[in-house]
Amino acid sequence: MKTFTAYFVRHGQTMLNHYNKIQGWIDSPLTEKGIADAKRAGQQLKNIDFAAAYSSDSGRAIETASYILKANKENINIISYQYPEFREQCHGYFEGNDANQMWQFVGEQVQLTSESAVLGKYGLEKARDLIHKADLYGEAESNAMFWERLDRGFNKLRDNTHDGDQILVVSHGMTIRSIIDRYAPELDEGVPTINGSISKLTITDNDIKVDFFNKTDFVAK
C-alpha cells in the first residue's frame, strides 16, 4: 500500500480576508501580512525534500506556494501543479459579501445569526448545505458537491505520488478545516485555519490520517 505525506498550507492573508469579505472562488491579492505569512511557512518547510508542489488554481494559493518554494534549497527541482479540486468552497451569490452579513442571511433559516452559532450547532458540513440553500442562484456548493470535488483532488494526488513522497499542497481555510473535521474531528476546536498555517496529513490508498493541524510554529528538521 502506498503511503505519502502532504503538508497542507493555508494561503497568506489577502485583501478580502483583511476586510472580512467572503472569498471562495473569487480571488484577491496577498497583503503585506499575507506575503509574510507565506514566507514564514517557507522558512518552516525549507528543509523538506518535496517531490512536488500542488496548489489550488486560485491566484492567492499559487502566489503563496511560490514564496514557500523560493525558501526551499531544492526549489529548482520541484515541479508545481495547480489543481482546481483544492479550491475554497464556492459561496455562489455570497462571494465578495461581508462575512457577518452572509451568516445573518444564512442563519435566518435556523433562527441563528452568526457564524459561530451556526457552525457550533450544525457543524461545517450541514452549514455548507445551509449556504447552498440560501443562495438565490443555487450555485453555492452543497456539502455533497464540495466533497465530490475534494475527493477527486485526493485521488489525483494518489495517482501522481509515489510511496514515501513528501508533497506541498497550498489550499484554503475552510477547505483545510473541512478535511480536519472529517478525518480528525477531535482536532477541530472551532478555531479558523490561520493564514500560512501548516497541517500535516499522512495519505494512503484508502485513508487519510491527520498528524497535526493549524500550526504556525512547526519547523521541519
**Can you name the residues that pair with 167 across neighbouring β-strands?**
6, 52
What nine digits make up the cell of 179?
478535511
Annotated catalytic residue, options 11, 91, 132, 172: 11
Tell me if residue 100 falls in helix, strand or coil.
helix
What span, in angstroms and rounded, lies between the C-alpha atoms of 52 and 68? 12
Judge whether 18 counts as a catalytic residue.
no
Judge whether 88 counts as a catalytic residue.
yes
Residue 104 is assigned to a ligand binding site:
no
Annotated catalytic residue, options 88, 95, 141, 172: 88
Residue 20 is assigned to a ligand binding site:
no
Residue 10 is assigned to a ligand binding site:
yes
Residue 60 is assigned to a ligand binding site:
yes
What span, in angstroms and rounded, lies between the C-alpha atoms of 221 and 218? 10
Residue 14 is assigned to a ligand binding site:
yes
Residue 13 is assigned to a ligand binding site:
yes
Residue 128 is assigned to a ligand binding site:
no
Residue 12 is assigned to a ligand binding site:
yes
Note every long-range contact of 187-194, with CB atoms under 8 Å and residues 24 or more positions apart, other chains counting. 187/212, 187/213, 188/213, 190/116, 190/119, 190/120, 193/10, 194/10
Which residues carry out catalysis? 11, 88
**What residue numbers does the annotated binding site for substrate cover?**
10-17, 60
**What residue numbers does the annotated binding site cover?**
10-17, 60
